[in-house]
Structure 1
Amino acid sequence: MQQSPRACYNIKRDLHSGKHIIVTFCLLLIWAVIPLSLHAQGNKQNIRGSITDKLSLVPLRGAMVQIVNDSASHQALSDSNGNYTLRSITPGRYELRIINNGYKDVYLPNVIVASGKETILDISIEETFKRLKEVVISSSDKGVTINKLATVSARTFSMEEVNRYAGGRSDPARLVANFAGVSAPDDSRNDIVIRGNSPVGVCWRIDGMNVTNPNHFATVGTTGGAVSALNTNMLKNSDFFTSAFPAEYGNAIAGVFDLGFRTGNTEKREHTVQLGLVTGLEGMTEGPLAKGSGASYLVAYRQSVAFLASTFGINIGTSATPAYKDLSFKITSGNTKLGTFSLFGILANSSIGISGGKSGSLYAPPDNTDLYSAIGIIGIKHVKILNKRSYITSSLGVNYAKNTQYQSSADSSNNSRSIEEEKVIQTAYTASVAYNNKINSRLFFKVGLQDQLINLDLYYRTRRNMPDWMQIWDNNNATHLAQAYAHLKYNITERLTANVGLHTQKLFLNTRSTSLEPRIAFKYDVGKKSSLTMGFGLHAQMQPINIYYNQIQNATATNKDLGFTKSQHYVLGYDWQPFKDWRVKAEIYYQYLYDVPVDSISGSYSMLNTGSSFKPDLSVNLKNNGTGTNYGAELTIEKFFSKGYYGLFTSSVYESKYKGSDGVEHNTAFNGKYVYNLLVGKEFKVGSDKRNKFTTDLKFTNAGGRFHTPIDLATSQMVGNTVLKSDTYAYTSRYDNYFRLDFKLGFALNSKSRKLSQTFSLDLQNVTNHQNVFSQSYDNGSKTIMTSYQLGFFPNFIYKLQF
């Protein structure tokens, strides 16, 4: 069941009590600048890490790492363990070049060095097709994904980008909304809509382990939430896929978010303190478990600002206080005879209690809602290098998610009253293993297995103007999902690469949920600056787990025999890098979805619209007879950060349609038809030695309004609550187009005498205070259709201290 719109909107309203944020920002800035300006000594930091083979993970000795945009000519060679260190680097932004005989040269732009923290970069490089003499083959890090098997519709992003862009709220999910093919015109949640697909079709992964929903205020069957539980200070560079993804990814039909926790500093202890209006008050520490062992820890804890203010008696303008907190950690063993072990996890909970609201708003005074959610993600990962060509990875983990909700409402105009009670607990135990073999410089093979045991406790009942309850869920069941895959990467020639794979999966809840999914993709380098890509993938996904157990008044669940929803992806792309720091990328795609659950009788319902509203999907008697299509074109024009500025323009033009059991083609709830994003930013170096910087960032988003089913006003007035029009009108009305302009100011201060750095940012979101439609509902008090709006002007402040 998705969380109430009251909760989402109230969270926005509570966070919006920021009238004094700009004043606070200025005072903190003055407080920090004065003491730092008193020092005149030099203070420098290190860049260090390891160099490994991208396919075999074997450490590479003798690789040269050099800074190419520094007059001091810093460079270092990797040792027998692949480790390197560039010492005494002045704080600033640098570009690195990695050179090793028989490997492609790699350029890493935008490597940031700050006084308060060492910069740790673990770099993997790719062996050339042939060990040619006097030939230099190079690649830019911006055009290469971390997953070596990705070919089409994939992009790597850095945590520096997450924190740099305006309007991002330090949320990776909101960052990817800037990429081509992604739409997220909803300020209340960070749901990811990829190429017109439901956000339910997205797979989240952390350190190689599939996870359910890493967000606060998350609910069963969804993949988004109001606030991310992912701490960006914990994350490393990660991959995002929007179509035809490699064979190792399964149980997803829209896209994949493949994230990873970084490793803590193995040589020295470092600490971070951060205060943000959205992310809360945070403390993080990292360092070696024992010096020289390579073992380290990384731990961070956050608490919401609104809850802390309420705890200390500070008036935040509302009694409905959104409280959320999370603990994230990663403990790494370092290299041992048995391999490398790491323990990682997220423990989080969130709650809000809402007692009415102002008259005529979304919160009529008689309404009361109490929400609570908790997530627990814990995993153990093992990596063992077998020889110079092969290694194995394995993991064990548990995903725990709990959601409870109590909601009551009353309408004095007709003396009606309704109550809803819900409790959902989902626990998934996961085990996986993969074998990787770099047969030679041309051929790489990967095969893997994964099994997930899912326990589900569902309880949901409702009552409206009657003494007896209507029981919707009352189940405690278990099932498991097994997956297997094989993938082959082959460099046919120096310019032509093929990725071929096969994925299979089975849900043991019934006999119909089985799939065999071929994947194939090619990349052809037209020249040194451009390439053509094409890909095909068949993908399958189980339904949201709660759907299988929907029932009618204590009757047997009617959806247990539902099979997978399946999807065929076709993609054609062109990538061109006209200059070193510019990139142009275009893709066209077609997606055909089938075996989609729809009503067993004629109707417009389709599972492809799941996640579009804040009401639970209680549909029963569903059959896998529906279809859908998504197709469109995307363009990305990007100026990488260099010479003190960057720019990113993305555009997506698309259609998203479906057919229910009525056989009529409808717009899906996610058919916005277009999305345009423009992001630009400029960095100014300040101070006598230019170690500090002042930044400005601007973001503009314009997206098509989504389709919805209009309200039947006459019938709603008759019965006293919201009633939608018949199936004939399904998704025929459209909200106004979404428009938002964000502007961000930042200042970074690097101490001259201490290992300490500070950053300040003021993110002015929706600076024009544009009213973007949130939803529509019937208000029985005024007997009219009420429109509620999304986030207005919202100043978000973040302060970070590293030492």
Structure 2
Amino acid sequence: MGKKLLCALSLLFCVMLAEAQITQTVTGTVIEKETKLPLPGVNVLLADTLGAVGTVTDLNGVFILRNVPLGRRSFRFSFIGYKETSLSNILVTSGKELSLAVEMEESVEALQEVVIQASASNEPMNDMAVVSVRAFTVEETDRYAGSRGDPARMASNFAGVQGADDSRNDIVIRGNSPQGVLWQLEGINIPNPNHFSIPGTAGGPVSIINNKILANSDFYTGAFPAEYGNSIAGVFDLRMRNGNNRRHEFSGQLGFLGTEVFGEGPLSKKHTSSYLFNYRYSTLSLFSSLGIDIGTSAVPKYQDMAFRLNFPLKGGGSISAFGIGGDSDIDILISEQKKPERNLYGENDRDQYFSTKMGVTGLSYTKPLSSNTLMKATLAASAGSQDAQHYFIYRHVDAEGFYAVDSLPQILGYQFNQAKYSAILTFYQKLNAKNSLVYGFNNDLYSFNFLDSARVLQDSGVDFSEFTTRWNSQEQAVLLQPYVQWKHKFNDRLSLVSGLHSQYFSLSKSFSPIEPRAGVAWQMGKGQSLNAGVGLHSQIQPTYLYFYSKPGASGLYNREMDFTKSIHYVASYAKMVTANIRFKTEVYYQYLFNIPVERNSSSFSLVNTGAGFSRFFPDSLVNTGKSRNYGIEFTLDRAFTGGYFFMLTTSLFESKYKGSDGVLRDTDFNGNYAVNALFTKEWTIMKDNLIGLGTKITTAGGRRYGPADPVASEREKEVIYVDETRNSLQFPPYFRADIRINYRINRPKLSHEIAVDLVNILGIKNVLKLSWAPDQTDPSADPIRREYQLGFLPLFYYRVDFSL
């Protein structure tokens, strides 16, 4: 009797446990990789459960998979005549439905189910990409310790990439200047998508792009396909995802980097249209407005937003409206300091008022023209602006040893506004199982409005005459970029990609008629692959430089600057060491030419610019500079299986250049090596909850610099280096260790997550730069001092996700 009762109670407990188990619905679309057309009839299977949990896609390639258990899940997609595709260890939570976007590639060899699995974590979204490309997901940006949910900071973990500055997300790709990176959103070349951006840079302290709005995207570090132009270093090809068209879902988050709200859901369930939006406001600014002391008067104030509306059409087409935008401002009031203080974000001898704005909005239309051709057309408008006012501080030390301000004359004021109107037309055409084409054009109409004036500092004080104008321009220009790409698959293991890109910029009348690109990919068997790529790439210069004129000069003597050009050669080898561990190495050589350098003999070159918070004012520029980058990269990574993940990347490189003086020197970014080690472990506790622990360790060679000229520095009130010995010295190696801890609680239709990023947990003092900072309380102190990067920085957030 006792045994029967025990069995009955056990059975009842199991039934109650099964009823209490929380499940979620997983939805998504499956499209063909070459044509981007939907694939109906694809078998979708939850691959890591004993029960038969599966479904098939409908006529629009859409699937709905119900009753999926929470946690890390794997999915398998199969279809006769196509290579089987697997998505492994995708996190399923209770607060939001999971939506997957899957691309499947047709097999060449036989009309049967071909089991050649493609891992979503490694395969790029672009079918024409062969080398130097890595797909990344929103989940990855959350997983990496120290990434702060920022795609740029996340990408700095990849081989060949390193961050230039803890306080900014500029990235250095294979020794190239950060300004050589192209940002794309929905196929549109967009302005610098970061708060507090400086003209001529591609980064900033805080990203405007929120990772919650992104679909799977691609990041390129060289030899990219022909559809990408106006870049010589790398490409962020970001894609926005569609909102959930089945039910309304919302999120709220309070964190160090921002307080935000997020929502998505159906506009009309009958027509499967959807919306998605996000808004964020600076948490530090919010605390300051509430009277909470945050330890500094220089409070960064920023806000940003994003939206996407999607309207599916009959026949597999769609219309989408999208946009992102942000504005920011900060007041750095050095005049209020009573003693010298550390200041990473501006000069130490002036009050600075700085604000920026950036926005992109567009309309995209996709339409299948036939069973093997898809057209995508996009119209967009974008704009970016920077506004700065500087007031020089004349002060003395009072009897008590504190600073006292004598006067604050304005010495600088500029407003840079740049708008762009873009028209993109792309065709994806599949000729047969072996051949496919992608062709189209990318046209941009620029509108420039640059105004800048300054007073000239004198040794005895300030010339209080009228400002001297350096920029005063209102002009327009077009950048035209047609391209064509062809892919031929000899069989399922060997393929060739070739393409042509062309580029014309009307402002400088620069024309690059033919930029060839080519690549080959060979799957050698036994988990091995050998790839190679080559390409010619070109880029316009930072646009404000075309309008610069030194005080007293006549004419705009930088107007005729040509494109900077770069030839990339890349070869890679990859091998699956085990079912989950992959080893990859790439070797590359880049030859850069037509780089703007000063007409007069000097060490200056644009390859050394593009990072930091300062503009540069070179003499008249000519395209005679040269540079070369070469190196080898290693990556060993383990897919997130069994509850843990790791990635180890090592880059060994050289980056050299010649200015107009003809001397071969190290570039500013030639650190020679960079090593990243990441590890993440997750545990499931109390059945449905997750706790995660991640760490990242980074070390890299220090930035290059040279001896300072104290006389010239005193005269210019900033560090001036001895030209002949530029970059003959190197700062100590960079080292940083980060730890990330997160805890997720899942409840029916509701989830909570709290996470802490402990950045630079060891508090290592890494040198950033030299600065001019005389200490008037101690005249004997060296006015040229080292500035250090961020110390220990704890970052936190609390997020709640729920659905209706």
TM-score above 0.5, yes or no: yes
Note the C-alpha offset of 1:676. Answer: 0.2
Partner of 1:389: 372
Counterpart of 2:697 (choices 693, 696, 700) is: 700
Partner of 2:551: 553
Cα distance, 1:122–1:512 mapped onto 2, change above 3 Å: closer
Partners in 2 of 1:666 and 1:477 — Cα distance? 37
Partners in 1 of 2:593 and 2:114 — Cα distance? 49
AA at the equivalent of 2:196: F
- Partner secondary structure for residue 136 of structure 1: strand
Partner of 1:428: 420
Cα distance, 1:155–1:338 mapped onto 2, change above 3 Å: closer
AA at the equivalent of 1:344: F
Q: Are positions 1:319 and 2:297 aligned together?
A: yes
Partner of 2:453: 461
Partner of 2:435: 443
**Equivalent residues in 2 for 1:173-192 (5 A)?**
173-192=152-171
AA at the equivalent of 2:605: S
AA at the equivalent of 1:453: L
Does the CA contact (< 8 Å) of 2:208 and 2:304 recur in 1?
A: yes
- Partner secondary structure for residue 417 of structure 2: strand
Partner of 1:13: none
Q: Are positions 1:727 and 2:723 aligned together?
A: yes
Partner of 1:300: 278
Counterpart of 2:226 (choices 236, 243, 247) is: 247
Cα distance, 1:721–1:264 mapped onto 2, change above 3 Å: same
Does the CA contact (< 8 Å) of 1:267 and 1:292 recur in 2?
A: no
Q: Are positions 1:398 and 2:396 aligned together?
A: no
Q: Are positions 1:284 and 2:282 aligned together?
A: no
- Partner secondary structure for residue 436 of structure 1: strand
Partner of 1:361: 341
Counterpart of 2:478 (choices 477, 480, 497) is: 480
Cα distance, 1:135–1:765 mapped onto 2, change above 3 Å: closer
- Partner secondary structure for residue 359 of structure 1: coil
Question: Of the two, which has the highest radius of gyration?
Answer: 2
- Partner secondary structure for residue 200 of structure 1: helix
Does the CA contact (< 8 Å) of 2:649 and 2:677 recur in 1?
A: yes
Partner of 1:140: 119
Note the C-alpha offset of 1:143. Answer: 2.7
Does the CA contact (< 8 Å) of 1:497 and 1:522 recur in 2?
A: yes
Cα distance, 1:715–1:503 mapped onto 2, change above 3 Å: closer
Note the C-alpha offset of 1:53. Answer: 1.3
Q: Select between 92-101 and 727-736 the one with higher mean Cα deviation.
A: 727-736
Note the C-alpha offset of 1:462. Answer: 1.7
Does the CA contact (< 8 Å) of 1:735 and 1:773 recur in 2?
A: yes
Question: Which sections of structure 2, spanning at least 5 residues, go unmatched?
Answer: 1-16, 398-405
AA at the equivalent of 1:536: V
Partner of 1:772: 766
Cα distance, 1:536–1:82 mapped onto 2, change above 3 Å: same
Post-superposition Cα deviations, 1:141-161, rounded to whole Å, max 9, x if no partner, equal 223100111000000011001
Partner of 1:217: 196
Does the CA contact (< 8 Å) of 1:355 and 1:369 recur in 2?
A: yes
Q: Select between 613-622 and 702-711 the one with higher mean Cα deviation.
A: 613-622
Partner of 1:162: 141
- Partner secondary structure for residue 614 of structure 1: coil
Partner of 1:527: 525
Does the CA contact (< 8 Å) of 2:82 and 2:112 recur in 1?
A: no
Higher relative contact order (CA 8 A, sep 6+): 1
Partners in 2 of 1:134 and 1:59 — Cα distance? 18
Post-superposition Cα deviations, 1:515-548, rounded to whole Å, max 9, x if no partner, equal 4200000011111401101110000000010111
Q: Are positions 1:644 and 2:643 aligned together?
A: yes
Partner of 1:758: 752
Partners in 2 of 1:635 and 1:347 — Cα distance? 37
Q: Are positions 1:56 and 2:28 aligned together?
A: no
Note the C-alpha offset of 1:418. Answer: 6.5
Cα distance, 1:136–1:514 mapped onto 2, change above 3 Å: closer
TM-score, reference length from structure 2 = 0.92
Does the CA contact (< 8 Å) of 2:79 and 2:113 recur in 1?
A: no
Q: Select between 534-543 and 184-193 the one with higher mean Cα deviation.
A: 184-193
Cα distance, 1:715–1:599 mapped onto 2, change above 3 Å: closer
Does the CA contact (< 8 Å) of 1:513 and 1:542 recur in 2?
A: no
Does the CA contact (< 8 Å) of 2:420 and 2:446 recur in 1?
A: yes
Note the C-alpha offset of 1:58. Answer: 2.5
Q: Are positions 1:116 and 2:95 aligned together?
A: yes
Partners in 2 of 1:551 and 1:734 — Cα distance? 33
Q: Select between 607-616 and 740-749 the one with higher mean Cα deviation.
A: 607-616
Note the C-alpha offset of 1:81. Answer: 2.2
Note the C-alpha offset of 1:778. Answer: 2.5
- Partner secondary structure for residue 747 of structure 1: strand
Does the CA contact (< 8 Å) of 1:129 and 1:441 recur in 2?
A: yes
AA at the equivalent of 1:479: A
- Partner secondary structure for residue 303 of structure 2: strand
Note the C-alpha offset of 1:103. Answer: 0.5
Q: Select between 38-47 and 229-238 the one with higher mean Cα deviation.
A: 38-47
Does the CA contact (< 8 Å) of 1:515 and 1:540 recur in 2?
A: no
RMSD: 1.9
Does the CA contact (< 8 Å) of 1:359 and 1:365 recur in 2?
A: no
Does the CA contact (< 8 Å) of 1:427 and 1:456 recur in 2?
A: yes
Does the CA contact (< 8 Å) of 1:394 and 1:434 recur in 2?
A: yes
Note the C-alpha offset of 1:72. Answer: 2.8
Partner of 1:334: 312
- Partner secondary structure for residue 121 of structure 2: helix
Cα distance, 1:62–1:362 mapped onto 2, change above 3 Å: same
- Partner secondary structure for residue 213 of structure 2: coil
Partners in 2 of 1:136 and 1:404 — Cα distance? 57
Note the C-alpha offset of 1:739. Answer: 0.6
Note the C-alpha offset of 1:366. Answer: 6.3
Counterpart of 2:489 (choices 475, 485, 491) is: 491
Partners in 2 of 1:365 and 1:122 — Cα distance? 49
Does the CA contact (< 8 Å) of 2:391 and 2:410 recur in 1?
A: yes
Q: Are positions 1:75 and 2:47 aligned together?
A: no
Does the CA contact (< 8 Å) of 1:711 and 1:777 recur in 2?
A: no
Between the aligned residues of both structures, percent identity stands at: 38
Q: Are positions 1:236 and 2:230 aligned together?
A: no
Partners in 1 of 2:441 and 2:293 — Cα distance? 53
Partners in 2 of 1:542 and 1:100 — Cα distance? 45
Does the CA contact (< 8 Å) of 2:592 and 2:627 recur in 1?
A: yes
Post-superposition Cα deviations, 1:728-784, rounded to whole Å, max 9, x if no partner, equal 111112112111000111101101xx3001111011110000111122123233441
Note the C-alpha offset of 1:132. Answer: 4.9
**Equivalent residues in 2 for 1:23-34 (5 A)?**
none
Partners in 1 of 2:752 and 2:501 — Cα distance? 47
Does the CA contact (< 8 Å) of 1:408 and 1:418 recur in 2?
A: yes
Note the C-alpha offset of 1:494. Answer: 2.8
AA at the equivalent of 2:350: D
Does the CA contact (< 8 Å) of 2:84 and 2:114 recur in 1?
A: no
Counterpart of 1:744 (choices 718, 740, 745) is: 740
> How many pairs are equivalent?
760
- Partner secondary structure for residue 137 of structure 1: strand
Q: Are positions 1:502 and 2:500 aligned together?
A: yes
Post-superposition Cα deviations, 1:410-460, rounded to whole Å, max 9, x if no partner, equal 243698966211110000110010111101111001111121111111111
AA at the equivalent of 1:359: K
Question: Which sections of structure 1, spanning at least 5 residues, go unmatched?
Answer: 1-37
- Partner secondary structure for residue 218 of structure 1: coil
Does the CA contact (< 8 Å) of 2:256 and 2:796 recur in 1?
A: yes
Does the CA contact (< 8 Å) of 2:194 and 2:209 recur in 1?
A: yes
Does the CA contact (< 8 Å) of 2:36 and 2:428 recur in 1?
A: no
Note the C-alpha offset of 1:655. Answer: 0.7
